[in-house]
Amino acid sequence: MTKSHLLAGLAAFALVSTPALAQKTPEAIAEAALKKAPVFDGHNDVPWELRGSVGNVINDFDFNDTTKPKPDGTVMHTDIQRLRKGHVGAQFWSVYVPSNTNEQQAVQQTIEQVDVAKRLIARYPNDLGFARTSAELESQMKAGKVAGMLGAEGGQSIGSSLAVLRELYGMGVRYMTLTHGKTTPWADSATDAPQHDGLTDFGKQVVREMNRLGMIVDLSHVSEATMKDALEVSHAPVMFSHSGVRGVNDHPRNVPDSVLPAVKANGGVVMVVLYAAFLDPKLREHGLSRTAEKARLDARYVGDPDAAAAALKAWDVANPAPQTPIGLAADHIDYLKQAIGVDHIGIGGDYDGMDATPVGLEDVTGYPRLFAELARRGYTQAELEKISSGNMMRVLKAVEAYAASQKGQPPIETPVAK
């Protein structure tokens, strides 16, 4: 072989080999997806964190950087700098208040949380936006802001009143989780004793009125029976703002297999939570063991709570909670993809509302690592773009479109107490 033939052969080899050598890494695929379609996160509890840590007094609160430890030693998960680093383009800010039997108090507290969320956003007009529609949200994202919508977490927030529901919509609330940890007078929670076998007749009216208004029905936290009732009644797509799947971790807060086909048929989206307790079956078993041990110690040391507390502390040292790998979050996404398809998956972090995260997802900067893990598993850039924000945006627009089709329908009326 002549030298010229050898050089020609090497050149041809280079031409054939270059595309393989230039193949994108998982990190590059994730970066490209998140640059084109930044994360539209389904659930963040910063407003509740502000209520607990500063009593909603925020004129001197620095949301650019919240990495300084609080007096209890913990650090917030969210701030503007870290939202940017995590490629978050839109955020549902939760205006959560605790479940309680005093619904009037819950209504007041919810309005206070709406207020603090709006005031926080208004303080950073160059970085944050407040959106009432998908068009406003897309416009703010294109302008480089973290666009914000509000979500009420728990039906106690409306005080069993459709009038209050309508007024919350008027304030800018664009989804409501039908329950939180406790059953309401009209809907069963996943983590409380059932009272209604799902939704009451009034609960079904709540779903219908949310459809008419253009408020997304959120089924995180609700019981399986409530999920099925709501999916049967709703004419617009629903969301699970921050839930896992029971097929990976059999936790009552997660979505059971029996409900998933109805979610697909409805056009809804399951936004995978990043709270380790909902993701990790080993962590769930650890929690159940700890609960049993606490009950045993309380019974053993009746009348001596200090001794019971000391013994439980010793148990904690001897039995540390397992660390949850980032792959478990991807496992839930994999399960959903196989069960109902990639068009019905989103992300709902639950940051600043949880105490345990997977390794690598300790705060809102972790989203690129999660998407790189998905790319490593074979997800395409187009699929990642759907999961990051495309699917949630589709649901939001479909809910708005259904509400627009109902413009001629009057509000649903129910009598108020005399």
Write out the catalytic residue numbers.
43, 45, 153, 180, 221, 242, 350
Torsions phi, psi of 235, nearest 5?
Answer: -95, -5
CA-to-CA dists, residue 125 to 54, 132, 144, 148, angstroms: 22, 16, 11, 12
| CB-neighbour burial class of residue 83 (10 A; exposed 0-12, middle 13-18, buried 19+) | buried
Type of residue found at 167:
E
| CB-neighbour burial class of residue 256 (10 A; exposed 0-12, middle 13-18, buried 19+) | middle
